[in-house]
Amino acid sequence: MFTPQVSANQPDSVYLFSYAEANGAGGLKLAWSPDAQNWTQLNSGNSVVNSDFGPWGRMKKCFRPHLVQTVSDGKWHCTWHLSADGDGMAYVDSPDLMYWNPQLYFPADKLSSYAPKGAVHPTKHIDAKIGSKTQTGYSQRVPYSLIEGLIRFSDQRAYRAAQYDERLQDVYALAPFEATLTVHTDSTKTISDKLIGIFFEDINYGADGGLYAELVQNRDFEYAPGDNHHAKWSPSTAWTALSGSDSVALSIDTILPLHANNPHYALLHAGTAITNAGYDGIVLRKGERYRFSFFGRSAAKGASDVEVSLIGKDGKVLAQKKFKVSSKNWKKFSSTFVPSADADQASIRLAASGADAAVDMISLFPVNTFKNRENGLRADLAQTLADLHPRFVRFPGGCVAHGDGIDNIYDWKGSVGPLESRKPLRNLWNYHQTRGLGYFEYFQFCEDIGAEPLPVLAAGVPCQNSGTPGHHSHDHVTSYGQQDGIPMDEMDEYIQDVLDLIEYANGDPRTSRWARMRAEAGHPKPFNLKYIGIGNEDMITEPFEKRFAMIADAVKARYPEIKIVGTVGPFYEGTDYTRGWEFATEQNLPLVDEHYYVSPGWMINNNHFYDSYDRSKPHVYLGEYAAHIPGRHSTLETALCEAAYLTGVERNGDVVEMTSYAPLLAKEGHTQWRPDLIYFNNTEIKPTTSYFVQQLYGQNSGNTYVNSTLELSDKSAYAAKSVLASVLHGETEDSYILKLVNLTPAEVDTHINLDNVNLNGYRALQTQLSGDIASKDVKPVSSEYTVTTPGMKLNLPARSFTVIRLIKQ
Ligand code: AHR
C-alpha cells in the first residue's frame, strides 16, 4: 500500500467522480478534478472493480454505481445494479479503492441491510464530461493524496502490464554472451516428488469422442436439447433411420426404459435400419477385434432379427452379425466384430426384420484399449498421457466439476456403476457427457499409470459464471451465478456424497456399501486415494466459505489422512486470490490450487513468483496454467516460457508440490479452448511443443533440488531473465539432471562445473528443443555422449530448452 506525500503546491482536496458506462459494460470507473469541471480519468479509463455476477456477456454488468466513504474508518462502499431494470444489486467494499473485498449480491429491497454503518462523506449526483462522453455518477470531495496514490498505483500497473506484454522476438535480441553454471552439490533441499501431473477435464471432446474409446456417439439416445446451444440436440442426434432407401424419423420411446437414469431408447421397426457414424466417423482396423454390445427387447409380437453391420464409407460391409431379440424384457447382447478392411469413416447399422425391437446402449469398443480394459481408454491417447510420466491426475474438471448451476454439479455417484445406470450430464462446454468415463475409470487409469488420483468436487457452489439459476432460485436476478449455493438443508446429503467417495475409493467392501460397488466393478482392492480437491477457482464469497468449511470439517473429522486441496480463484492476484489464501490459511489446508493463464512476458518476469511464499502456510498446487499469446496458439515461444517458468517452480519445489498444464486434450474440430497440450483426431495424436516441455520435466524429475549459481557475462536484467537453470539429483541412480533454458536469439556458451565432482567419464543423455519461436511443430532431439573433461562446455542453442541427465558410470 502507498503512503502518498502531498507537497506544498498541490491542492488539499479535489473532486472524485465515480460512474459506470450507461450500458453497464466494464465496472466502476473513477475520474478526478480540481474544480468539478475538468475531469481526468483515473486508471487510464479502465474500471477499478468489475461486477463478477453471473455468466459472461449478458451479465457481469455494473449499472448506476454509488460509491461512498464512511467517515469513521475511511472505508469505501459501493453498490450497483446488476441489470438495467432488474432488481438485483451488488455490494463491495475497499480500504483504498485499490484492493476490493469479495462482492455480495442481493435483491434491491434488501439494500438497507448493505448500507454502510455510520455517517458517510456527502456525494452529489451529477453529469460530468469525461473525455468525449457525458457520464452520470456521483462526485465527492477527497484529499488530493488519495488521487496521488491512485495515480501511482495505476502507473505501477501500467508498468507491469508493459512487462507482461514482452515477447521473445522484441525484447530478447541481445548480443551473444557466456554463462557459467556452478552446481553446489553439497547444498540441496528436498522438493516434491509429485511436481508434474496432469489435469484431465472433459473439454474439447476430451472424454466422449476422445480419451474414452467408445466409438458410437449417443449410444444411449440421451442427448438432450440443452446439451448444445447451437445445434438443438435430441435423443436421435448422431443417428439416421432408413426405411428401405427412404429417410425416416427415428422412433424414440420412454415407456419401458432400461433404467430410470437412461429413459430414452430407440424403436427399431421391422423393415427399418438405424445408422451411427460415431464421432466424425468410426475408425476400424482390419483384423482388429471390436467389442459390440446392445440391449434389446421385443417391442411387438414375435421375435425380431437384428442384423448389425460395420460399413465402410463406400458402403462395403466390413463385418456383420445377427441377433435374435425375442424377450419382452431387456437383455444384453454382445459379440466381437473383426473388420475385413481398414476404414476411417465407417458407420454401424442395425436393421430389424420380423418384428419391431426396442434397442439401447448400442456400443462398439476396440478390444485393444489402454491396458486392454473393457470400457477403457483409447490406447494411443492414453499412452501419450502415460508418456508424460505424470505423478497425479486431477479430474473431472475444472468448470465441469463445479458445473453450470447447482443441477449441473458433477455428482460422482452418477458416473459409476453399470453403464446403463449412469446419469448422463450436460457438459457446460456445450456438449454431452455419457460418463462412461466416470470415477471408476479415472481411478483405474491413475492406477494403470502409477499416478495419484486427485478428484475435484464442487465446494457446494457451482461455477461463478453459471448461466443457470439455482433450483431454489428466487424470482429476482440474484439467483444466478454461484450465489445460491446448494441450499443449507441439502448440504448434509452433499457432504455425505463427498464422504462416500472416499469410501468408494478406499473402503473395505465387507463393511462399506460404496467399497462394495467398487469391488463389483472389478477392483476389490482400495484405490488408495490421498487427495481431494474441494472447489475450482470459485469466487471466495460467504456462500462459498460456509459450504467449503462444512465439507472440509466433515472430511477432516472422518478421514484426517486425506489431504484437502483448496482453491484461490482464477488469477495470480486480486480478491479471490487474496481472500482465498487467507481463508485456506484459516482452514489450515495442506494445499491450495492456484490457476493462471498468462502471457509469456508474465512468466519471464515472474520466475521468482514463489521465492517469497511463506513455507508455513498451505503449499501450492498450480492446477491450471499455460502461456497464452494472441491467437492462442501453442508455439516454441509459449513452450520455452513455460520451461523457463518451471525452473522457478522446481527451485520452489519445497512449497509448490504439484503442477498441471491446462487444458490437456483437444479434438480437432471440437475445440472450445486453446491452446491445449495435445491435439488429436480419430487417427492422429499431435502433441504440442508444450507437451514435450511437460514430458521433459515429468521424465526428469527428482526430489532433491541442488542449488546452483548461474553467472552471465552480460550483467543486464534482460540477460538474467533470459537464461535459466535448475538442477536436481536423480532419484534412482547417481545422477544429476540439468535443465537449461536460453530465451535469447543467440547461442550461449555455457561452462558447467559441479563442486567436488569430476564429470570425466559421466554418461550424458541430452534432449533439446530449439528452433523458430513461432513454430508450432518443434520436436525434441536427443543425443548421448560421454563427458571427457572434469567440467562441461555446452553451447545452448538460441531459443532452446536443454535437459541433460549426467549419470556416473
Ligand atoms: O482449463 C479450462 C478451464 O479454465 C477450466 O475448466 C477452469 O477451471 C478454468 O477456468
Residue 481: predicted pLDDT: 53
C-beta of 202 in contact with ligand 1 (< 6 A):
no
Q: CB within 8 A of 588, min separation 6: which ones?
A: 618
C-beta of 220 in contact with ligand 1 (< 6 A):
no
First to last CA, the chain: 56
Residue 86: predicted pLDDT: 83
Distance 623 CA to ligand 1 centre (A): 10
Instruction: Please report the atom of ligand 1 found closest to the CA of residue 397.
Output: 6
Does residue 684 carry a pLDDT above 80? yes
For residue 528, what is the DSSP state? -
C-beta of 662 in contact with ligand 1 (< 6 A):
yes
Residues 472 and 266: their CA atoms lie apart, in Å, by: 34
10-24, 270-284, 760-774: the lowest-pLDDT one: 10-24
Query: What is the arithmetic mean of pLDDT over 31-58?
Result: 93
C-alpha cell at 169: 522476438
HSE-CB of 167 using CA atoms within 13 angstroms: 10
C-beta of 201 in contact with ligand 1 (< 6 A):
yes
Residue 548: predicted pLDDT: 98
C-beta of 537 in contact with ligand 1 (< 6 A):
yes
C-beta of 624 in contact with ligand 1 (< 6 A):
yes
H/E element, 320: strand 317-325
Per the DSSP assignment, residues forming a β-bridge with 477 are: none
Instruction: Please report the atom of ligand 1 found closest to the CA of residue 400.
Output: 6
Query: 561: phi > 0 → left, psi -120 to 50 → alpha, else beta; which?
Result: alpha
Whose alpha carbon is nearest atom 8 of ligand 1?
398
**Cβ-contact 90, 104 below 8 angstroms:** yes
**What does the pLDDT look like over 339-349, one tens digit per residue?**
999 999 999 99
Residue 473: predicted pLDDT: 41
Distance 399 CA to ligand 1 centre (A): 6
Pocket test for ligand 1, best of 595, 676, 690 (most atoms within 8 A of CB): 595
Q: CB within 8 A of 224, min separation 6: which ones?
A: 233, 234, 235, 424, 426, 432
C-alpha cell at 299: 417391442
Residues 165 and 181: their CA atoms lie apart, in Å, by: 29
C-beta of 618 in contact with ligand 1 (< 6 A):
no
Distance 398 CA to ligand 1 centre (A): 5
SS3 label, residue 725: strand
Q: CA separation (Å) from 700 to 44, 387, 596, 623?
A: 45, 12, 24, 20
What is the percent of the chain with per-residue pLDDT over 70, rounded to a whole number?
Answer: 97
Residue 681: predicted pLDDT: 98
Query: What is the arithmetic mean of pLDDT over 407-430?
Result: 97
**Cβ-contact 769, 778 below 8 angstroms:** yes
Q: CA separation (Å) from 761 to 33, 181, 788?
A: 73, 19, 6
SS3 label, residue 799: coil
401-405, 454-458, 589-593, 668-672: the lowest-pLDDT one: 401-405
**What does the pLDDT look like over 504-524, one tens digit per residue?**
999 999 999 999 999 999 999
Per the DSSP assignment, residues forming a β-bridge with 80 are: 90
Query: What is the arithmetic mean of pLDDT over 683-709?
Result: 98
Q: Is the dihedral of CA 596, 602, 604, 610 positive or negative?
A: negative
C-beta of 663 in contact with ligand 1 (< 6 A):
yes
Residues 673 and 685: their CA atoms lie apart, in Å, by: 17
Cis peptide bond upstream of 675, omega within 30:
yes
Does residue 662 carry a pLDDT above 90? yes
Distance 671 CA to ligand 1 centre (A): 13
Query: What is the arithmetic mean of pLDDT over 713-736?
Result: 92
Pocket test for ligand 1, best of 200, 202, 203, 678 (most atoms within 8 A of CB): 203
C-beta of 571 in contact with ligand 1 (< 6 A):
no
**Cβ-contact 30, 11 below 8 angstroms:** no
C-alpha cell at 599: 502471457
Instruction: Please report the atom of ligand 1 found closest to the CA of residue 537.
Output: 8
What angle is formed at CA 390 by the lines to CA 779 and CA 411, rounded to 5 degrees?
125
For residue 134, what is the DSSP state? E
Give the closest residue to 10 by CA, choosing from 151, 126, 139: 151
C-beta of 198 in contact with ligand 1 (< 6 A):
no
C-alpha cell at 782: 536427443
For residue 494, what is the DSSP state? H
Residues 400 and 462: their CA atoms lie apart, in Å, by: 10
**Cβ-contact 101, 94 below 8 angstroms:** yes
Give the closest residue to 241 by CA, choosing from 220, 214, 268, 216: 268
Residues 426 and 411: their CA atoms lie apart, in Å, by: 12
Instruction: Kindly indicate the confidence band of residue 466, based on its pLDDT and cuts at 50, 70 and 90.
Output: confident
Q: Is 519 exposed, middle or buried (0-12, 13-18, 19+ CB in 10 A)?
A: middle
**What does the pLDDT look like over 148-166, one tens digit per residue?**
999 999 999 999 999 999 9
C-beta of 533 in contact with ligand 1 (< 6 A):
no
Identify the residue whose cell numbers are 419401458.
Answer: 256
* Highest mean pLDDT out of 103-112, 473-482, 782-791: 782-791
Identify the residue whose cell numbers are 483437444.
Answer: 666
C-beta of 623 in contact with ligand 1 (< 6 A):
no
Instruction: Please report the atom of ligand 1 found closest to the CA of residue 662.
Output: 1
C-beta of 673 in contact with ligand 1 (< 6 A):
yes
Distance 678 CA to ligand 1 centre (A): 16
Pairing between β-strand 13-19 and β-strand 763-770 as defined by DSSP bridges:
unpaired
Instruction: Kindly indicate the confidence band of residue 102, based on its pLDDT and cuts at 50, 70 and 90.
Output: very high
Residue 475: predicted pLDDT: 40
SS3 label, residue 430: coil
Query: Angle of helix 488-506 relative to helix 439-449, nearest 10 degrees?
Result: 40
C-beta of 594 in contact with ligand 1 (< 6 A):
no
For residue 120, what is the DSSP state? B
Give the closest residue to 52 by CA, choosing from 573, 569, 695, 782: 569
Residue 479: predicted pLDDT: 54
Instruction: Please report the atom of ligand 1 found closest to the CA of residue 663.
Output: 1
Q: Pick the residue with more confidence: 352 or 173? A: 352
**What does the pLDDT look like over 419-432, one tens digit per residue?**
999 999 999 999 99
What is the percent of the chain with per-residue pLDDT over 90, rounded to a whole number?
Answer: 90
Whose alpha carbon is nearest atom 4 of ligand 1?
398
Distance 445 CA to ligand 1 centre (A): 22
C-alpha cell at 634: 501453442
Pocket test for ligand 1, best of 201, 577, 664 (most atoms within 8 A of CB): 201
Instruction: Please report the atom of ligand 1 found closest to the CA of residue 624.
Output: 1
Pseudo-torsion of CA 103, 566, 598, 387, nearest 10°?
-160
Does residue 257 carry a pLDDT above 80? yes
Distance 568 CA to ligand 1 centre (A): 13
Q: How many CB atoms lie within 10 A of CB 723?
A: 24
Instruction: Please report the atom of ligand 1 found closest to the CA of residue 201.
Output: 6
Residue 107: predicted pLDDT: 85
Residue 189: predicted pLDDT: 98
Residues 655 and 621: their CA atoms lie apart, in Å, by: 9
Q: What is the identity of the amino acid at 689?
A: T
Query: What is the arithmetic mean of pLDDT over 433-454?
Result: 98
Query: 669: phi > 0 → left, psi -120 to 50 → alpha, else beta; which?
Result: left
Whose alpha carbon is nearest atom 5 of ligand 1?
398
Give the closest residue to 348 by CA, choosing from 318, 314, 309, 316: 309
Does residue 10 carry a pLDDT above 70? no
Distance 555 CA to ligand 1 centre (A): 25
Distance 539 CA to ligand 1 centre (A): 14
Distance 436 CA to ligand 1 centre (A): 22
Residues 87-126: b if buried by 16+ CB within 10 A, e if exposed: bbbbbbbbeebbebbbbbbbbeeeeeebebeeebeebeee
For residue 553, what is the DSSP state? H
Q: What is the CA radius of gyration of the chain?
A: 30
Q: Is 157 exposed, middle or buried (0-12, 13-18, 19+ CB in 10 A)?
A: middle
Whole-model pTM: value is 0.96
**Which residues are identified as catalytic?**
537
Residue 9: predicted pLDDT: 60
C-beta of 675 in contact with ligand 1 (< 6 A):
no
Instruction: Please report the atom of ligand 1 found closest to the CA of residue 399.
Output: 6
C-beta of 642 in contact with ligand 1 (< 6 A):
no
C-beta of 570 in contact with ligand 1 (< 6 A):
yes
Residue 474: predicted pLDDT: 42
For 320, phi then psi, to 5°, come to -155, 145
For 769, phi then psi, to 5°, come to -115, 125
Q: How many CB atoms lie within 10 A of CB 224?
A: 15
Whose alpha carbon is nearest atom 7 of ligand 1?
398
Q: How many CB atoms lie within 10 A of CB 581?
A: 21
| Residue 746 CA to its chain's centroid (Å) | 35
Distance 330 CA to ligand 1 centre (A): 40
Residues 656-695: b if buried by 16+ CB within 10 A, e if exposed: bbbbbbbbbbbbeebbebebbbbbbbbeebebbbbbbbbb
* Mean predicted lDDT score pLDDT of the chain: 95
Whose alpha carbon is nearest atom 1 of ligand 1?
663
Whose alpha carbon is nearest atom 2 of ligand 1?
663
Catalogue the E-assigned strands of 213-316.
239-243, 246-248, 251-253, 265-268, 272-276, 282-284, 290-298, 304-311
